[in-house]
Structure 1
Amino acid sequence: MNKKVILSTVLPLCLLISFAQVKVQHLLTENSTNPIGLGVQQPRFTWQLMSDKRNTKQTAYEIKVSGNKGTMWKTGKVGSDQSVQVVYAGTPLKSDNKYTWTIRVWDNDGKASAWSETAFFETGFLNTSDWKAKWIEAGFTEDSINRPGILFRHQFNASKKIKSANLYITAHGMYEVQLNGKRVGDAYLTPGWTSYNKRLQYQVFDVTRMLISGNNAIGATVGNGWYRGYLAWSDNKNIYGKKLGLLAQINIVYSDGSTEIIVTDEKWKSANSAIKSVEIYNGERYDARDEKSGWSSAGYNDAAWKGVNLLSTDFDNLTATENELVKKHETFKPIKLITTPSGEKVLDFGQNLVGWVVVKAKGNAGDKIVIKHAEVLDKAGNFYTENLRAAKATATYILKGGAEEIFEPHFTFFGFRYIKLDNYPGEINPDNFTAVTLYSDMKPTGTFTTSNALINQLQHNIQWGQRGNFLDVPTDCPQRDERLGWTGDAQAFSRTATFNFGVDNFFSKWLKDVAADQEPNGSVPFVVPNVLGHNAGGSAGWADVATIIPWNMYLAYGDKKVLETQYPSMKAWVKYMTNASKNDLWNSGFHFGDWLFYRPNDDNDGRAAVTDKYLIAQCFYAHSVQLLINTAKVLNNSADEAMYTDLLQKIKAAFLKEYVTPSGRLVSGTQTAYVLALNFDMLPEGLRAQAATRLADNVKSYDNHLTTGFLGTPYLCEVLTRFGYTDVAYTLLLQQDYPSWLYPVKMGATTIWERWDGQKPDSTFQTPGMNSFNHYAYGAIGDWMYRKMVGLDTYEDGVGYKHIKIQPHIGGGFTNASASLQTYYGTVAAGWKVEANGISLDAEIPANTTATIYIPASNATLITEGGKAISGVADIKIIGTEDGDVVLQVGSGKYHFVVNK
């Protein structure tokens, strides 16, 4: 036979075999790709299976982990379908070491994959004794009024050829570090914000390529940051300490195997920087005339610099970084140069964002540029900063003169859409200004789109509210003199957050601070890290962050470890409520209640009277206990499960006795009261339907508007859908006048507002004392849009989308809606279209998962998949019908269903 004929026959067959074979990719260690500086002895491994075949599952895996001295762990073939967070169980890991790992799997046809590409991870300091560096502070008396940034530098010699080098670094304050004149890393606002006295994170950077054999220099700039800057109110500063400090260590391995350690010690030098003052709320003042050219390079003359003081302290509060650092992301050019009625020169960037503006300018030495930041213009079109309260939010740059200069801040950030320019030298050219966003480097995971442009803009606003407020901690707002980790906002939005971005590491880190700052009696602070002091905690719906977010992380990511870690904190919070209760009724203490609920003019009948705060407290008490029951079950703690089950029955009985009439009417007839009672199952089965009717009737009585606040809003549409009032939920979603989700959209919002009417219909503003235009809490409606409207969800028997639920709720006049989510198993996607001849539904299910799909059809004979009747598709199992849906069970693959009229 002709060789060409043989090759033409064999090659396609080989390609077909290789394409059909399952592949392994997207290897993660502790939820990250090739992480450096891990602080855990037993990291967890995750991988994805890729296959074009439907119903592909993993039946076994084999992992190999290697270190400098050979194999650390070889599992052999393990019969298991687990592909997410498999715990390392090999030879104990060592500090500051690099390890590689690879994996292969077997599918449900018994076929083995090829070995995956090699991934790696590097450990950080696993013991405090690994720190050889010493804390240093400036060797001169700091300016206690302006509190400028401080420079630290050190020159050292690396005498041999360098094989590898890691920099370990943290600060009292915020730091930026340079090696041989170049910036190290692309992170900002490091070391991030934690409860510093208990947990101070350090970062690790691979600086191998930044060092040279011979003379080197390291330099760091340190500013106030969260450590000693002004936070909250009433001149609240120096919360964690009074002096800036630096701790740094470079571990060098030479090619000959020898090692050397460079540390912060008494040999370092210090000086004031060109940053003349810097505060998170007030901004930064920078004088380029005082720049010290070449200060972080070898050979620089630092004879005029001062020495340093050594700080005697232990390293017990130091911890490895586990969350994504703050980095630069999107950039925006001005869309408009405005001269306001007051004559102000204002640039509009078209998006309310968080970060700062990079400025180009050319002028004379001493010329001063002043940039002020604002979210909105007032009714007359003038620059409006009254809602920033005491925050000056100003960047001031003083030119050194000569060539074009480029400025940007270092240790502050702003929430803004507009900037006002004063004293800019020369003509204002918008091309010389670039707005740069800053937020934690979370991976975007979710997409959502519909046939309604306003709803699509709402989704845009939800995501941008999350971007701007997930700045190392989940802040309440990014612009005024606050920017704190309010616990109520975070718990309300947490499930929505898990869809839009990968926030498991983000919240895992923050939850450790929730536990660290929890009072000895179990009370959880209003804000975390707690900068408001003792007794600023214990509010229902805020403190329940201790139970709600761990459970939401478990559901969204399948992360059992977060439950194990947070379980003592969860129990302590419930114990606090139990101790504060009398006869199982929690009706004492301070509570924020249904914060910022809509207050209509209802003097005639009082239908929207303030929801009883103790009714709310009892509901959240029950909810936290239910989450403890759930968690105890996951952790196989049967004794706790039984104990909390008994407690929950008593809590609900006390609620029924105190707040419910025999006919099922609540003492507070508000939407929030019924929403919480129904969502947390506070009522007996027989009283729930009438309560849901009362809720729907209440909504209709307000001309189909909501009246809920921070605690009622997240569950409002969820409860309506659960009890058969999806039409009412859609009506609420699509309302365009105040109060509604779309009212801010119609008013031009690009983020979620703090208040339903932050800007009133006449373009005047709500009270400036509390009126943020970037405040994500009401964006919690996103959770209903993703999990109910499109119907993309996970079951509790297969959390983290191991067992996927797709149950769309079609309505509202929408002709289509779709969503996709990057899970640890791969892409999960669903979408529906209403067409002339029926309804189509698409679904994408990743390998190694299963899905239960609800098709809106009266019977299975109306449904086709891929053009075939589903009864004839081998990969689809018809389970039955439920509430007007045909229920199907499927494995991995892409599916296209059509329901014919």
Structure 2
Amino acid sequence: MASVFLSTLFILFLSSSIYARLPYTSPRPRHVRIDHHDVDTHSDIVVETPIFSWSIDDEKCPYNGTLLRGIQQIAYRLTVAQKLSFYSPKQTPLVIYDSGRVLSDLNTNVLYNGSALTSDTRYIYSIQYWSSTGAASEIITGEFRTALFNPKNELTASWIGSRQINMNELRREFDVPQSILSATVFMSGMGYGTLYINGINVDPSRRFDPGWTTYTQRVLYVSYDITQFLKGQSTNCIGVQLGLGFYTNEQWGGGVPPPASEVFGPPPRLLLQVNIVLNDHTTMNISTDTTWLGREGAHRKDSIYMGTFYDTRAERYNWSTAGFKDPYSLWLNASLIESPLSSPTGQLTYQSMDPIRISPYALHIATSASQTGYRLMPPGVNGGNVMNGGIFNATPIPNQQVPTYDVTQNIAGYCTLTITGRKGMTVSTRHAELLDKPGEDGIQYQGLNSANYQIITASDDFIIQGNPHEILEPMFTYHGFRYISIYANYINIESVVCSAIHSETTLIGNFTSSSLVLNQIQHNILWSQLSNIMSIITDCSQRQERRGWLGDAALSVDVALFNFDLYGLYVNSLRNIADVQHADGSIPDTAPFSVGGYVADPSWAHAYPEITWRIYQHYNDTATVKEHYIGIQGWVDYLTSRAQQGGLANMYFAYGDWETPVHYPVTNSSLVSAFSYLSDVQTMITLSKVLNNQTNVDKYSKLYNQLATEFHTTFYNSQVNGYAEGYQTANVLALRLPNVVPENLRASIIKSLVDNIATNNNHSTTGIVGTAALFPVLTEAGYHDLAVTIATQTTYPSFGYMFNNDVQNATTNWETYHALIKGVGGTDSLNHHMFNSIGAWFYRYLAGIQLNGFNEDFIIHPRLTTLLTNVDAEVHTIKGSIFVAWQRHTNDNTVTYNVTIPHSFYSIITFEPMKPAARCVSIEESGIVIWQQSSSLFETNVNGILWLRPDSIIEGAISARIAGGSYQWKVQWN
């Protein structure tokens, strides 16, 4: 048998040698990104910093068509040229940068290294790479344009509006004397603005531009290429509708009142400039000034929280076209209005993150479902399929006093109504996440239960035109809801179509398993996250919050980046944090600050280092680390100063292990704050290593070692053989921190944790901070089956209880486990993402995809469990697709693995024993035995497999180092 094995190795080795000499077909750079925007999903890319990324294409053996492995990029060439003419393809662009053939395997975050680009200019790029097979890729080309690099000096526009009327509709006519080469709009509407050119909404899928910031510090502007909408040698018209959005005092509530300098609000205001390049290459600008005309449009009230009041009788369908004359409404000249920027350091900056869009334009699909067309949800999962476009035909609920509809999925969005009625009649809508049950608490009829909307109405009210099949749609607002009631007396409701709204993103992750409970949790995670990305990471979508609570953002960022491409959103979130950081390094609970403490609970401001570190892990992005490194250091030093005042025993807190399940004890809150403080110091050390700052590595390593000792001596309680009171969260957090629990106590602390879980019938009793650490701690401690048991529970308290109760089966994650327990819940959100942290454990442990920055061998270590028969996970990373699927076969004691890792990359995959004390019998790859129990492990590069070795940590496990490509493994155990 050994001779057969050696012969097989020789054949594989010979094959791999032949591959290097085979003819090749031309690959092409895939999934090109410019300034972190995917060119496949963005037709108009606006760049601040030219950074290029691409992934390496598959190549096939020309003899048998099999995919090659171990392909490495060995060189690339990048060119950038200025686009001189917009209609003459024969004209040669002006090349301003040509890297030449650069010998490098770098294909992510490649910096443009040419002469400085100019503002508001079109460019053409080209990318080519050479692979280790001898192949030269196709040269791919595309276009991008630049933002304004110095808007303070480059904009001649003024902020305009009116203090006499609610001027939310503005227009300006102008003549263009000749043909147009290009036309670009730079615009900021406070709070929101929608652009029309010659009667056409330039981008009808966009909502709520620009994004919410600390307006006194930083205001975002957006840009549109309107070349195709303008007419040369003609009169043109620009129109803008304005909404207040969060540019209103409605956003303030609770906590410390804002400083007077940060209070702002009505009237709405507009800053806009059109830069036009004419056919003779001369330029002209159209800017906002007092020549613009404005009026109060049909939307008489717009509020994020309260909704819209819209009088369709006041619509003027041709109001943004040239030559428009209004016989009814009064249009006044706009007045100059002061800028929202009141801080001396205030900046107008380009909104580089993706805009908020309505479905189906809000979500792209990059997982394999986009290629295969397989977009079905796993069997048994309830709710809306996230891959079906985010559009829902709401279903009438029978026997309702008021016509009420079920969307079937809890979403953030709005509904479009098609109705027929008489002019002047009123249609009103109300929204809710829950329905009342007749017979309970004196309730006579089923209807909306809006208790958890607290003090807001979430209503839209319309006065109708009276046209047949009239379409009603709210402006500048959204609601978090599953149910909608429509008050429309003597009006025929023809259809109710509801659309999800969220920041534009791409689904890059997919996780399924043999557990219906885990699959439903994953579904709920996806929708909870989508519902709470609205230019900031909000906490919930239905009540008077929707704030940038940092604790929620910190806990969900890892899983969010496994599931969605959200680079720009999180970079903007970090800038929001930097905008509100105080001179002493402290940070408030929310960013932009609107509610909560003006100095954050440590577990909330933990978002600053945590988000920065996770962006590095998922995108290998050192630029963001550099941008925020000093700010993070300031926060860590602030915490150090607070800790020195009273020690870790008296570490300050506001929330502790927030939302511990009701009827269960709450862990010592100073311990929770101390955990977050030590975690931040640990992250500071890691980020210092990323930036090669050895001085700070040494400084904060010394501090961490001191704090680790103090944590143990302060909180260890020998009477309970655990930390603090011995509750789950306390022990979990101590175990999660490196070098806190002494080695001689570690086993007993783990046993104490496991015993507590057993006492609670294998349920967790942790709040949001403890839950994020619980599952990784149990898995790493050797209690992976227990972690899976807790994750798949369906009785209170558990994730599964959210969709296995007698009130409503959840399609999103709740704010609390007890949200619908009678007499306890009632005002909690049913669409929250702070418990989404369990999803990171799905990817990192159940599937074993350990993303860690792509600077070294990528670790794949699936954790097997007797409670699952299979797991499938996919993540479409900046390097390319990673796919891991494993399946247990008890009939022959084998585990099969399908694994794909990106080209030009290496991975170490670990096969752990199928059951404790099992020994490996054989390993096959693609049907060929590459190792048997009687054979020696090998260290020869055979078709992408570099070596097989006993794992250095897990007893009985075997690890393999493999090059990029797809593999099919079969591992047998006895």
- Specify which of 468, 474, 488 is matched with residue 409 of structure 1: 474
Deviations along 1:722-781, one digit per CA (max 9) or x if unpaired, are 111101101101111010111112231100000102123xxx474334x00000111211
Deviation at 1:234, TM superposition (A): 6.4
Taking the TM superposition and a 5 Å limit, the aligned residue runs for 1:395-434 are: 395-429=460-494, 432-434=495-497
How far does residue 553 in structure 1 lie from its aligned partner after superposition?
1.1
| Distance in 2 of aligned mates of 1:217 and 1:229 | 33
Would the aligned equivalents of 1:356 and 1:435 in 2 still touch at CA under 8 Å? yes
* 1:560 equivalent in alignment to 2:622: yes
Tell me which residue corresponds to 1:222: 242
For the residue of structure 1 that corresponds to 2:683, the secondary structure is helix
1:278 aligns with 2:302: yes
2:846 alignment partner, one of 789, 801, 804: 789
How far the C-alpha of 1:512 sits from its partner, in A, is 0.5
- Which AA in structure 1 matches 2:239? G
Query: Residue 841 of structure 1 contacts residue 897 of structure 1 at CA under 8 Å; is this kept in 2?
Result: yes
* Corresponding residue for residue 123 of structure 1: 146
The residue number in structure 2 matching 1:579 is 641
CA contact (8 A) 2:161 2:167 kept: no
Task: Tell me, yes or no, if the aligned pair for 1:232 and 1:481 is still in contact at 8 Å.
Answer: no
* Aligned with 1:758 (options 806, 819, 840): 819
Larger displacement relative to structure 2 (858-867 or 490-499): 858-867
Secondary structure at the residue paired with 1:415? strand
How far the C-alpha of 1:242 sits from its partner, in A, is 3.3
Contact 2:771 2:837 in 1 (8 A): yes
**TM-score (normalizing by structure 1):** 0.92
Please give the alpha-carbon distance, in whole angstroms, between the structure 1 residues aligned to 2:22 and 2:818.
Answer: 60
1:278 and 1:412 in contact (8 A); partners too: yes
CA contact (8 A) 2:128 2:140 kept: no
**Aligned partners of 1:585 and 1:651 also within 8 Å:** no
Give percent identity, aligned residues only: 29
1:179 has 2:197 as partner? yes
Larger mean CA deviation between 330-339 and 636-645 belongs to: 330-339
Structure 1 residues not aligned, in runs of 5+ = 1-12, 143-147, 601-607
Q: Distance in 2 between matches of 1:472 and 1:126?
A: 22
Q: How does 1:125-140 map to 2 (within 5 A)?
A: 125-139=148-162
Matched, 1:164 2:169: no
Letter in 1 for 2:202: V
CA contact (8 A) 1:364 1:400 kept: yes
Deviations along 1:846-894, one digit per CA (max 9) or x if unpaired, are 1111111112345665110111112495421213233332101101111
Q: Which runs of 4+ in 1 moved over 6 A?
A: 234-238
Shift in CA distance, 56/859, structure 1 to aligned 2, threshold 3 Å: farther
Whole-Å Cα distance in 1 between the matches of residues 483 and 710 of structure 2?
Answer: 52
- Tell me, in whole angstroms, the C-alpha distance in 1 between the residues paired with 2:601 and 2:149: 37
Deviations 1:217-246 (A, max 9, x none): 011111110111512536999943332110
Partner amino acid, structure 2, of 1:880: P
Q: Secondary structure at the match of 1:154?
A: strand
Q: Could you tell me how far apart the structure 2 residues matched to 1:49 and 1:860 are?
A: 34
Structure 1 position 317 matched with structure 2 position 347: yes
1:666 aligns with 2:733: no
| Equivalent position of 2:435 in the other structure | 377
Distance 1:61 1:39 in 2: 21
Partner of 1:327: 357
How many angstroms apart in 1 are the aligned matches of 2:235 and 2:179? 12
2:271 is matched with which residue: 215, 229, 247? 247
Which aligned pairs between 1:683-694 and structure 2 lie closer than 5 A? Answer: 683-694=741-752
Which runs of structure 2 are paired with 1:313-392 in the superposition (5 Å)?
313=339, 316-329=346-359, 330-334=389-393, 336-339=395-398, 343-380=401-438, 381-392=446-457
Aligned match of 1:544 in 585, 602, 606? 606
Q: Which moved more, 1:262-271 or 1:417-426?
A: 417-426
Within 1, Cα distance between the matches of 2:492 and 2:470?
Answer: 15
Aligned to 1:673, the other structure's residue is in SS state helix
The structure 2 residue matched to 1:864, chosen from 915, 924, 930, is 924
User: 1:410 Cα shift?
Assistant: 1.5
Q: CA RMSD in A?
A: 2.3
Match of 1:875 in 2: 944
Which one of the candidate residues 542, 545, 549 is aligned to 1:479?
542
Closer, same or farther in 2 for the Cα pair 1:480/1:870, shift >3 Å?
Answer: same
Q: CA deviation at 1:436?
A: 0.5
Query: Does the 8 Å CA contact 2:662/2:818 hold for their aligned counterparts?
Result: no
- Secondary structure of 1:658's aligned partner: helix
AA in 2 matched with 1:740: S
Q: 8 Å contact 1:332–1:349 — kept in the other structure?
A: no
Q: Which amino acid aligns with 1:571?
A: Q
Distance between the aligned counterparts of 2:728 and 2:694, measured in 1?
Answer: 36
Q: Which string of whole-angstrom CA distances, capped at 9 and with x for unpartnered residues, describes residues 651-673 of structure 1?
A: 11221221114696312311111
1:442 paired residue number: 505
Q: Is the 8 A contact 1:289 1:399 kept in 2?
A: yes
3-state DSSP class of the match of 1:507? helix
One-letter identity of the residue aligned with 2:136? S
One-letter amino acid matched to 1:617: S
Instruction: Note the alpha carbon deviations across 1:661-717, whole angstroms, 9 max, x for none.
Output: 469631231111111111122223332222122111111110100100111111111
CA distance in 1, matches of 2:490, 2:580: 48
State the match for 1:885 in structure 2: 957
Kindly indicate whether residue 864 of structure 2 is the aligned counterpart of residue 810 of structure 1: yes
> For the residues of structure 2 that align with 1:348 and 1:428, how far apart are their CA atoms?
15
User: Which one of the candidate residues 883, 899, 910 is aligned to 1:829?
Assistant: 883
Instruction: Tell me the distance in 1 between the aligned counterparts of 2:339 and 2:162.
Output: 17
Are the equivalent residues in 2 in contact too, given 1:831–1:841 (CA < 8 A)? yes
Q: Which moved more, 1:551-560 or 1:865-874?
A: 865-874
Task: State the shift of 1:83 in Å.
Answer: 0.7
Alignment equivalent of 2:686, drawn from 626, 630, 633: 630
Pair 1:842–1:335, CA change in 2 (3 A): same
Number of the residue aligned with 2:379: none
- What residue number does 2:702 align with? 646
Q: Which residue of 2 aligns with 1:10?
A: none
Letter in 2 for 1:741: F
Secondary structure at the counterpart of residue 628 of structure 1? helix
**Contact 1:550/1:566 (<8 A) preserved:** yes
- What SS class does the counterpart of residue 837 from structure 2 fall into? helix
How far, CA to CA, are the matches of 2:393 and 2:135 in structure 1? 54
Any conservation in 2 of the 1:20–1:51 contact (CA below 8 Å)? no
CA distance in 1, matches of 2:783, 2:507: 32
Q: What secondary structure does 1:694 align onto?
A: helix
1:540–1:592 contact (8 Å) kept in structure 2: no
- Deviation per CA, 1:813-854: give whole Å up to 9, x if none: 222110001111211000111223222111011111111111
Task: Output the CA distance in 1 between the equivalents of 2:956 and 2:661.
Answer: 35
Provide the aligned length of Structure 1 versus Structure 2.
Answer: 863
Paired residues of 2:81 and 2:124 also in contact (CA < 8 A): yes
2:173 alignment counterpart? 155
Secondary structure, aligned partner of 1:582:
helix
Match of 1:145 in 2: none
Task: Report the CA distance between 1:116 and its aligned residue.
Answer: 2.5
Q: Within 5 A, what are the aligned runs for 1:728-747?
A: 728-747=786-805
What's 1:777 paired with?
834
CA distance in 2, matches of 1:293, 1:140: 25
The equivalent of 1:113 in structure 2 is 136
> Is 1:513 paired with 2:571?
no
**2:468 pairs with 1:468:** no
Structure-1 residue corresponding to 2:251: 231
Q: Deviations over 1:117-169 (max 9, x none)?
A: 10222111001345334333334513xxxxx5611110011111111111111
Structure 1 residues 443 and 616, CA gap change in structure 2 (3 angstroms): same
SS of match in other structure, 2:77:
strand
Q: Secondary structure at the match of 1:692?
A: helix
Opposite residue 245 of structure 2, the aligned amino acid is: G
8 Å Cα contact 2:922-2:972 kept in structure 1: yes
Cα deviation, 1:42-90, whole Å, max 9, x if unaligned, reads 4211011102310111122221111146222211222221111011110
Report SS of the residue matched to 1:230.
helix
Tell me, yes or no, if the aligned pair for 1:39 and 1:319 is still in contact at 8 Å: no
Query: Alignment partner for residue 48 of structure 1, among 45, 49, 55?
Result: 55
